[in-house]
Structure 1
């Protein structure tokens, strides 16, 4: 079968690899769509970062390996002992490997497992025609949720998990910094939680236009004093929940100027450069910065439920490409900013 194999920085090849078969407690999935994530871009241009160069303790795999951790598909084969799943089931994959015995795992917070692994970063993943996953990664998709949306459950669950950590109420004023895929996911999540007053801060006109087309209210930090606007909007009390999906110093500084007393700034970004955080603002405001990592099964189920209600819309920000286009139409286009979210169809263009 064909797959996108990672060999190191700037070296991903579309090549033939052996088709996998499920072992005990595993299922084989024919991949419908696989999203290219920001993490994949970091690995391609500057890796290996998370991709192991020696066997990972939970998967036993190391580079080179098949990329892809945001994917959906159809179950085609069951391993020994698998119950509750049937061939033909349409599924989204929650790609986390967890040890089950570290402190976070014992506390039920497996998304911050001390040895956490990702299918498609620490094992052969979904940027291939087929892949094999353990049954605890499987989430069934309702009939009215497409495989295209199914491939977006993973990044939308990242956003939903972060939105939940901010503990927003329907009457609150919330802010999202950054209108990339996670920022868009945060807007969808907050709207799904009943908030009407959600403002997305984004300097890029293209990205602002994309999320405005979905119905979002946006603010341009290059043309507006954002903290002054929020102070006026809220009669001086500040925003109730702020989310950073931008990952740059100016966004964090502006966010801290908007945050209300004893309210959270939830960080769901990857910071390529060290930040200088003005902690005095947090002290004087008794506000806080809250980190957010990944998701849990509850986030997956919440997102899938919202998708089944027609809550998510891919218009204007999602593109689909064939596996052969992963480099030029995928990594390079995303890196250049000409595309926002790319879903790879591993079967498109494949010989039958």
Structure 2
């Protein structure tokens, strides 16, 4: 079968590799679509970062080279011994976390913070291939109302939903989202799903502003508007109830910390290429806080699948599909240049 294999910095090859088979407790999937994630870009241009270069991961026992792909959906083609609640022909989406089940976060249900966490497609051969095999606990069935191709978006939308939950907002809250890339769009969708109507998306790129405005969002251009001053005026100085940084740049963090109200959070959803030197005075004087977030749990997957089944997510104008052979030039390069926003890979094309 064909797969996108990662060999290190700037080296991904489309190769013929052995087709995997489902062992005990495993599920084999014919991949329908696999999304290219920002993490994939970081691994390609700056890595290896999360992918083990030589020492095998303690849970997956896998090191580089590895088949990429952790955002994917597909059709079950076989199940291993002991799997009796998933069947051949089921449409599924994958929650790609490997966890130990023994550390304190795992025991408390917060396995997204597992001390030995691993990811399918980073620490195990992933879904940027025609077929892949995953543990049963990574499989979520898709209802008939969700096209299997769209199921590949459940993973990134769950990243966004988990962040939105950490914002501790309600339907009367005000929120700011910095960055209108896929995760920023996902946060906007998640907040809307929670009932919020007062949401501004801060984005300097006109192309990205137009894309999210077409979905119904309200935007602010930080190159032409003093965002903290505008928010202070709108809220009589109280600030917003939560801000979300999906931009990953220092100006977004600094602006957001001026905009959140007392004892309210800035949720950091980004990976920062450069160290931040954030003045703590904005935190101290009003007891604001910066809250980190990482991936998701099954609760977030269930919430996103429920919203998706109701038609909540609109992919018009920001999601495109490419062939497996175009992953590097038509995928990584296009995304890095900002010419595309979200790309799904069709491994059969």
Q: Does TM-score exceed 0.5, indicating one fold? A: yes
**Residues 1:31 and 2:25 aligned together:** no
Mapping of residues 1-352 of structure 1, within 5 Å: 1-53=1-53, 54-348=55-349
SS in 2 for 1:151: helix
Range with greater deviation from structure 2 (329-338 or 126-135): 329-338
Shift of 1:308: 0.4
Cα distance in structure 2, aligned partners of 1:235 and 1:91: 47
Q: Hey, what's the Cα distance between the residues in 1 that align with 2:327 and 2:271? A: 22
CA deviation profile, 1:91-117 (whole Å, cap 9, x unmatched): 000000001111111121100100100
Q: Which stretches in structure 1 are left out of the alignment for 5+ residues?
A: none
CA distance in 1, matches of 2:108, 2:189: 29
Q: What is the distance in 2 between the residues matched to 1:229 and 1:145?
A: 39
Distance 2:117 2:76 in 1: 25
- State the SS of the aligned residue for 2:238: coil
Note if contact 2:157-2:186 (Cα within 8 Å) is conserved in structure 1: yes
Tell me, yes or no, if the aligned pair for 2:99 and 2:117 is still in contact at 8 Å: yes
What is the CA deviation profile of residues 316-347 of structure 1, one whole-angstrom value per residue up to 9, with x for unaligned ones?
Answer: 00010110111111011111111000000001
Alpha-carbon distance, 1:33 to partner: 0.1
Q: Give me the whole-angstrom Cα distance separating, in 2, the residues matched to 1:49 and 1:69.
A: 15
2:72–2:127 CA contact under 8 A, matched in 1: yes
Is this contact kept in 1: 2:20–2:131, CA < 8 A? yes
Q: How many residues align?
A: 348
CA distance in 1 between counterparts of 2:73 and 2:249 reads 31
Cα distance between partner residues in 2 of 1:101 and 1:249: 37
By how many angstroms is 1:286 displaced?
1.0
Q: CA–CA distance in 2 between the matches of 1:157 and 1:33?
A: 17
The offset of 1:194, in angstroms, is 0.2
Give me the whole-angstrom Cα distance separating, in 2, the residues matched to 1:260 and 1:85: 46
CA distance in 1, matches of 2:148, 2:320: 14
Displacement over 4 Å in runs of 4+: none
Look up the SS of the partner of 2:231 in the other structure: helix
Distance 2:148 2:38 in 1: 21
- TM-superposed deviation, 1:275: 0.4
Could you state the TM-score of these two structures normalised by the residue count of structure 1?
0.98
Displacement of 1:148 after TM fit?
2.4
